[in-house]
Amino acid sequence: MTTQSAPPTPERFFNVMQSYVNSAVLRSAIELHLFTAIAQGNNTADKIAAAAKVHPRGARILADHLTILGFLKKDGSTYSLAEDTALFLDENSPAYLGAAAQFLHAKDLRANFDHFADRVRDGGAAHAEENFLAPNHDVWVKFARGMAGLMMMPAQNLARVVLASPNLAAPKPIKVLDISAGHGMFGIAFAQQNPNAQVFGADWPKVLEVAKENATKLGVANRYNLIPGDATKGALGDGYDVVLIPNFLHHLSARENVNFLKRIHQALKPGGVVAILEFAPDDNRITPPACATFAVMMLAGTPEGDAYTVTELKKMLDESGFKDIKSQDLPMGMQRIISATK
């Protein structure tokens, strides 16, 4: 007997073409505090409607669609949170990620995809008004405020990996530079894990205000220093034991990255470590999917940025004068760590 494969269907076409519907549904549920309302016992359409101050019909249809997507479970007329929803979308959870929606759905980011065919034709967002690398772009304040919660665990894990080196272990005093600090969580993690670490966050002035707020909340403000300005051109200081470059190199061209990494090499003391965190796909550029699909974001919003492979990032470090170049997956994360020493 032969086994016949299922006949082709247009389901994938419609699912992808209408994916904006699902993202709008999820964003609306976050804005209406629906998940938190259900976590607090408002588990029917009428109760959800009352808690969220919406129409009962709207609450029912929204909750049913979220159930279809897997965010909710439904038993009769009663709704409950799926396990991952309870962890990440209940505002009372310490792992709450809903605030990230304000960055992920920022108008400027979405607008890039309204003209994505043009980006493909041009090979990127060539003009300053089209890309989000313009100085002091408001999108990065949204990033800093929206992504802090999401980045807290990756930041702690990166710090553990880097500080496992004997010459960096606490309580040894160390000097840490955090490039494109944003919310500040990566540098803050080093300050938390080493009470003698002095951290310097480099980013645009408005963004660093958010980093300083987070450093204050987490009790390390007295060891968190600010370097406002363009990290690719401005003075960064020197004598660093560690330079962190999380989620930054993908914005630049390979040539720009080599030039930038040479500046980082100069800023480090001999034996100092650079730690890069990136959505770095395999050499085939299609796996793992979470890393490989990031290239589309860079095509839409930067002139020459890319999701660089691990091999490409290692080559950039080698050309910049680094040695002992290594890579590993970030524990409990989608990204990869590429580290090297001066």
Average pLDDT of 120-149? Answer: 77
pLDDT of res. 130: 57
SS3 242: strand
Higher-pLDDT residue of 234 and 72 is: 72
Q: Could you give the CA distance from residue 24 to residue 271 in angstroms, rounded to a whole number?
A: 49
Residue 319 host element (H or E): helix 310-319
Average pLDDT of 142-152? Answer: 84
pLDDT for 14 beyond 60? yes
Q: Are 71 and 85 in contact (CB under 8 A)?
A: yes
Predicted TM-score (pTM) of this structure: 0.88
> For the chain, which residues make up each domain, given as ranges?
11-92, 107-341
pLDDT for 317 beyond 70? yes
Average pLDDT of 275-302? Answer: 95
| Class for the domain spanning 107-341 | alpha beta
Higher-pLDDT residue of 280 and 3 is: 280
SS3 262: helix
Residue 318 to residues 248, 314, 315, 329, Cα–Cα distance (Å): 18, 6, 5, 20
Using 50, 70 and 90 to split pLDDT, how confident is the model at 274?
Answer: very high
Question: Which of 8-22, 46-60, 287-301 has maximum average pLDDT?
Answer: 46-60
Convert the pLDDT of each residue in 299-308 to its tens digit.
Answer: 998 999 999 9
Using 50, 70 and 90 to split pLDDT, how confident is the model at 332?
Answer: confident
Q: Could you give the CA distance from residue 263 to residue 255 in angstroms, rounded to a whole number?
A: 13
pLDDT for 291 beyond 80? yes
Higher-pLDDT residue of 89 and 109 is: 89
Using 50, 70 and 90 to split pLDDT, how confident is the model at 107?
Answer: confident
% pLDDT > 90, the chain: 78
User: 11-92 maps to which CATH number?
Assistant: 1.10.10.10
Give me 234's structure tokens. 């401005």
Q: Are 258 and 287 in contact (CB under 8 A)?
A: no
The rounded mean pLDDT for the chain is 93
Give me 134's structure tokens. 């313009």
CA 19 to chain centre: 21
pLDDT of res. 129: 57
Q: Are 189 and 155 in contact (CB under 8 A)?
A: yes
pLDDT for 135 beyond 70? no
pLDDT for 120 beyond 90? yes
pLDDT of res. 289: 94
Strand runs labelled E in the chain: 72-75, 78-81, 174-179, 197-203, 224-228, 240-246, 268-278, 323-329, 336-341
pLDDT for 24 beyond 80? yes
Average pLDDT of 253-271? Answer: 97
pLDDT for 131 beyond 80? no
Instruction: Collect all residues with Cβ–Cβ distance below 8 Å to 239 and sequence separation of at least 6.
Output: 175, 267, 269
pLDDT for 277 beyond 90? yes
pLDDT for 22 beyond 90? yes
pLDDT of res. 80: 98
Convert the pLDDT of each residue in 219-260 to its tens digit.
Answer: 999 999 999 999 999 899 999 999 999 999 999 999 999 999
pLDDT of res. 37: 98
pLDDT of res. 141: 83
